[in-house]
Amino acid sequence: MLRTESFWIDQGSKLGFAAIAIVVFLAIVGLVMFLADNAPKRGRDVIQLLLFVAPALLLLAAGMIWPALQTIWQSVTSKAGEFVGLDNFVTIFTDPTMQVVMRNTIVWVIFVPTFSTIVGLAYALFIDRSRGEKILKSLVFMPMAISFVGASIIWGFMYTYRSEGFPQIGLLNQILVWLGLSPYQFVETPPWNTFFLLVVMAWIQTGFAMVVLSAAIKGVPAEIVEAAELDGATAWQRFLNVTLPWIRGSLVVVVTTITISTLKVFDIVRTMTGGQYNTSVVANEMYTRAFRLNQPEIGAALAVLLFVLVLPIVVYNIRVLRAHKEAH
């Protein structure tokens, strides 16, 4: 009997809270409409802007700006909260483990955007207006529909290793066995394991590069291409002197977007190796230090470093796009 009564009391409390919330919401909407209808036109626009934008700005401040400020402060303090200046950043660049992390991150940032953009551009050029173009492009773009974790699990099965003499369930090691070679520990053997991990990222991002660049190539005016062809320009010369300059803005978008995604890569490394075997990168090490090794100050310093690395890329992207827009 008591349980029944408490249940109905709880339900009544929830319904009462919901009713109050609805009344408050309707009151706020009514106030907004009243102020909008009765204010002068110029003042009305300002009131509408403030009333509708203010909640979003408050959420932005509470969810992003304030945590970012806290992270910056934590990056220059010790675990006890004492100000230590740049000591945490010195640790990042001098600790042997962190040097491996930085090296791996540089390798990722150089290889993934370069490989993905080149392969995506080549695919967009050679498949453009060919028979079965839609199907062929869909196959390349399909990995973009898979999450990083899902892609990591798929490639994890591809790289799976079993000792020599045992049946291989990993595709690549089975191929090695068929060729008469010994199975290889793809994700456990440094330094090549970093390469096998970043292949996963490149596999995913190539589809993005192909779609964006394919759309940009189709936007090249046919008159310019035909004029270059009439002047005797070869296909390679038309690509270098006509197509490439025209799609420069799209190329910048592709390279910078993939670079930013690569700098922030976490899921692939965390899922496939957990950062072991000298495969950790900045984002993964940030998580490991902050939540696994109880070094929040180092994790915060890595987060700030990641922000500092991404910021100039974003600024450059905006400037190039603005200049490209003005040119066209």
Task: Say yes or no to pLDDT of 45 above 50.
Answer: yes
Name the residue among 301, 283, 306, 285 with its Cα closest to residue 73: 301
Residue 314 has pLDDT above 60, yes or no: yes
Residues β-bridged to residue 83: 77
**pLDDT at position 196:** 94
**Tokens standing for residue 299:** 């994790």
Instruction: Give the C-alpha separation, 294 to 29, whole Å.
Output: 46
Is 312 within 8 Å of 295 (Cβ atoms)? no
Distance, CA of 61 to CA of 273 (rounded, Å): 35
- The confidence score (pLDDT) of residue 158 equals 92
For the segment 183-193, the average pLDDT, to the nearest whole number, is 91
Contact by Cβ (8 Å): 66, 278: no
Q: How many residues does the chain have?
A: 328
**End-to-end Cα separation, the chain, in angstroms:** 77
- The span from the CA of 192 to the CA of 211, in Å, is 30
DSSP codes joined into one string, 114-177: HHHHHHHHHHHHHHTT-TTHHHHHHHHHGGGGS-HHHHHHHHHHHH----TTSPP-SHHHHHHH
Residue that has been written with the tokens 């038309």 in this structure:
238
Query: Please, which residues have CB within 8 angstroms of residue 78's CB and are 6 or more apart in sequence?
Result: 84, 87, 297
As a whole number of angstroms, the distance between CA 328 and CA 309 comes to 30
Contact indicator for 275, 266 with CB cutoff of 8 Å: no
How confident is the model over 25-44, as pLDDT tens digits? 566 556 555 555 555 555 55
Q: What's the average model confidence in pLDDT over 54-58?
A: 72
**pLDDT of 55 higher than 60:** yes
Give the other-Cβ count within 10 Å of 247's Cβ: 25
